[in-house]
Amino acid sequence: MDSNLKKFILRLADDSMILGQRLGEWCGHGPVLEQDIALTNIALDLIGEARNYYAYLASVEGKKEDDYPMLRLEREFYNCLLVEQPNGHFGDSIIRQFLFDSYHYYILDGLKSSKDETLAQIAEKSLKEARYHLHFSGEWVLRLGDGTEKSHNLMQDSLNNLVEYYEELFTPAPFEVWCMEQGYCPNLNDVKDKAIGYARQKIEDATLTWPTEYFSRTGGKAGIHSESLGFMLTELQYMQRAYPSMNW
């Protein structure tokens, strides 16, 4: 397998893995029992999706699926910065989720026609789940954006803070450029047009304002992360690092 394609698959996997891990932190602490269940459900879907990508790579490289999330170093993770941002309050997690879901849904939709059949199959399966995620987070953007004055202000602040991480999702890394040329990855500009169009409309419906001036942050796709990823990996990898080579 070409190293560009490998990096691209890891990128897809790491986005879902890291966001799933973040959502797992909500488990038992949600604002309402129903939402606790919903966030856990999304975590299950995302980690399940990541597992499919890791298992695919493992079969190609003769490794184990857990080697990828549990034994790589921080600089070897290619997830975007958005998904590793701390949970914050429920509104922060919803905005983070919504921005990711808008990208995730459309990239999976494009990946259905990937030249790589396994990727296309994983995308087909995950797309159904991503549609539900986008619906869920979009509904909460509406409720909280157009709820009370307090919720509206909190959501606007969350959006202002997190929008900085949005465009990285659509800014192709060199390995993605290669994958687009080879027909493995859909054109990220097309994904961007659809995703941003959808997201901005929903934000407007929620009576929120899409920020006009912000600095777009990048680095995740090159393995240069925010400080928080190291702490996440410390927890994620704790058992495998403390007890090397054991089965659980």
Partner 1 sequence: MAIQNLETHFQEKVDQEIKIEPKDWMPDAYRQTLIRQISQHAHSEVVGMLPEGNWVTRAPSLKRKLALLAKIQDEAGHGLYLYSATETLGISRSELIDQLHSGKAKYSSIFNYPTLSWSDIGAIGWLVDGAAIMNQVALCRTSYGPYARAMVRICKEESFHQRQGYDILLTMCRNSETQRQMVQDSVNRWWWPSLMMFGPNDSESPHSAQSMKWKIKRVSNDDLRQRFVDMTVPQAEILGIKLPDPELKWNEERKHYDFGNIDWDEFWRVVNGHGPCNKSRMEARIKAHEEGEWVRDAAMAYAEKQAERQDVQSKIQYS
Given candidates 6, 24, 121, 210, which one binds partner 1 under the rule CB under 8 A?
Answer: 24
Given candidates 80, 144, 163, 196, which one binds partner 1 under the rule CB under 8 A?
Answer: 144
Given candidates 146, 157, 164, 167, which one binds partner 1 under the rule CB under 8 A?
Answer: 146
Binding segment for partner 1 among 37-45, 99-107, 189-197, 218-226 (CB under 8 A)?
Answer: 37-45
Please tell me whether residue 43 binds partner 1 under the rule CB under 8 A: yes
Please tell me whether residue 67 binds partner 1 under the rule CB under 8 A: no
Torsion over CA of 80, 223, 120 and 166, rounded to 10 degrees? Answer: 20
Closest CA to 104 of 152, 70, 136, 63: 136
Given candidates 63, 66, 71, 112, which one binds partner 1 under the rule CB under 8 A?
Answer: 66
Residue 45 or 176: the one with the smaller Cβ distance to partner 1 is: 45
Please, what is the end-to-end C-alpha distance for the chain in angstroms?
Answer: 30
Please tell me whether residue 147 binds partner 1 under the rule CB under 8 A: yes
- The SS3 assignment for 146 reads coil
Please tell me whether residue 82 binds partner 1 under the rule CB under 8 A: no
Give the binding-site size for partner 1 (rule: CB under 8 A). 49
| Residue type at position 220 | G
Contact 221, 188 (CB under 8 A): no
DSSP, residue by residue, 112-146: TT-SSHHHHHHHHHHHHHHHHHHHHHHHHHHHHHT
b/e sequence 208-238, b meaning 16+ C-beta within 10 Å = beeeeebeeebebbebebbeebeebbeebbe
Distances (CA, A) of 25 to 84, 162, 202: 12, 19, 27
Given candidates 10, 15, 18, 69, which one binds partner 1 under the rule CB under 8 A?
Answer: 69
Given candidates 131, 142, 164, 194, which one binds partner 1 under the rule CB under 8 A?
Answer: 142
Question: Where do contacts with partner 1 occur on this chain (CB under 8 A)?
Answer: 21, 24-25, 27-37, 40-41, 43-44, 47-48, 50-51, 54, 65-66, 69-70, 89-91, 142-144, 146-148, 150-151, 154, 232, 235-236, 238-240, 243, 246-248
